[in-house]
Amino acid sequence: MKIKTILYVPTAHTENGRPSPWLQQRLDMAIDYAKNHPNEDCLFLLSGRGPSVENLPQITEAETCKRYVQEKMSNAKVVKEDISTETAGNFAFSKPIMDVLNPNKIVIYNSRVVSDRTKYLANKILGADHNFEFVFIDDDLSKNPKSIDKEPRALKMFHNLLDDIEDGDSESVRNILLYETPFYFKGIVNEVDFFNKKWPGGYENKQSTENSKWGK
């Protein structure tokens, strides 16, 4: 049976097996949608492994989110993508799942502070293959000065990486992320060189951002 609506939630920080407050808000908004649209045959697609491939989590962010959704809505249909460690990966590794499910529409939930990045990556990676819309939330993450300061640099980095890729070509995006960045196969791509070339402000700025509160 064709899925009518995918409720797509890129994950964020979790702690002690629970979603962070801003991640919980994304999930709650998606849950409310599902409860208020019972005729849309909604399915939750929850995307994210964690912030690193080096430290294996006991449970991924996506699994944490799945448990939270099913705690709040026991009959929820949930699919996970738990490879990705960053926002482009969220979309790139979720796109094949979306293609198989072939929904009428996808509703994308994220924090307002990452709205420009989310829009860019959705259009670049999903392209015209899917009908999608956005719900951006004015949460604590969106009011955090360090998150606000980080965002233009993160967006510019993804422009530097992906602007030459044709919209909708998620396979090429996955190949770039896997083999031309330090996000997935540690040690293949030199992290210092990569961020000095791709991240405005270079590696030292990226490190100071990651070491600050609420890097995601």
Whether 156 is in a domain gets the answer yes
Q: Specify if 128 maps to a domain.
A: yes
Nearest residue to 25 (alpha-carbon basis) of 41, 9, 43? 9
In the predicted structure, residue 146 carries a pLDDT above the cut 50: yes
pLDDT in tens, 30-76: 999 999 999 999 999 999 998 877 777 789 999 999 999 999 999 99
Q: Is 44 a member of any domain? A: yes
Of 181, 149, 58, nearest to 67 by C-alpha is 58
Q: How many domains does the chain have?
A: 1
Indicate whether 40 belongs to any domain: yes
Q: What is the C-alpha to C-alpha distance for residues 111 and 150, in angstroms, rounded to an integer?
A: 14
Percent of the chain whose pLDDT exceeds 70: 96
Predicted confidence band of residue 3 (pLDDT cuts 50, 70, 90): confident
Alpha-helix residue ranges (DSSP H) falling in 10-144: 21-36, 61-72, 87-101, 115-121, 140-143
Please give the span between the terminal C-alpha atoms of the chain, in angstroms, as a whole number. Answer: 36
Q: Is 141 part of any domain? A: yes
Return d(Cα 62, Cα 65) in angstroms, integer. Answer: 5
On whether residue 215 sits in a domain, the answer given is no
CB atoms within 10 A of CB 205: 16
pLDDT digits (tens, 9 = 90+) for 162-212: 999 999 999 999 999 999 999 999 889 999 999 999 999 999 999 888 765
- Measured in residues, the chain has a length of 216
> Does residue 216 sit within a domain?
no
pTM: 0.94
135 within some domain: yes
CATH of the domain at 46: 3.40.50.620
What residue numbers bound the domain in which 84 lies?
5-210
